Amino acid sequence: MTTPIQTIRDDFSLLDEWEDRYRYVIELGEGLPPFPEAERTAANKVPGCVSQVWLTTEQGAGADPVISFQGDSDAHIVRGLVAIMLALFSGRRASEIQNTDAEATLKELGLDEHLSPQRANGLRSMVKRIKRDAEAALKQTA
């Protein structure tokens, strides 16, 4: 069970030190469900990430399907960032995913200022992939 995005926002607001926030991000990553070894494929790998990041997409039925994501990384902090993105996007309708501003959430959490350029690019790649999958789901049913 991933931590809800509102809980993450609330927890971040209580942590003043960046050292504590990084520790919390790592804990979020540790809370991700185990990622199946069979899903660690080139097709599920997110390009543009310095660390290895895998992402799978499961789509519900209907014109505006609910989409669930599962992800993992071989790096602790990145795994935590994957957890935050899953909390933000997974289990939502494709149209909601399209309208969710990940950059605003990262700013709100202060992560936009505290990530290395490589991690920030990787995160943008992951968001792009998630939104592309949502767009594809909406087109399939159109």
- Residues 6 or more apart from 8 whose CB is under 8 A from it? 28, 84, 87, 109
Given 8, 46, 49, 106, the catalytic residue:
49
Q: What tokens does 38 get?
A: 């069979």
- 68 pairs with which residues across the strands? 58
Integer-rounded Cα radius of gyration of the chain: 15
Judge whether 49 counts as a catalytic residue: yes
25 burial level (CB within 10 Å; 0-12, 13-18, 19+): buried
Query: Catalytic amino acids?
Result: 49
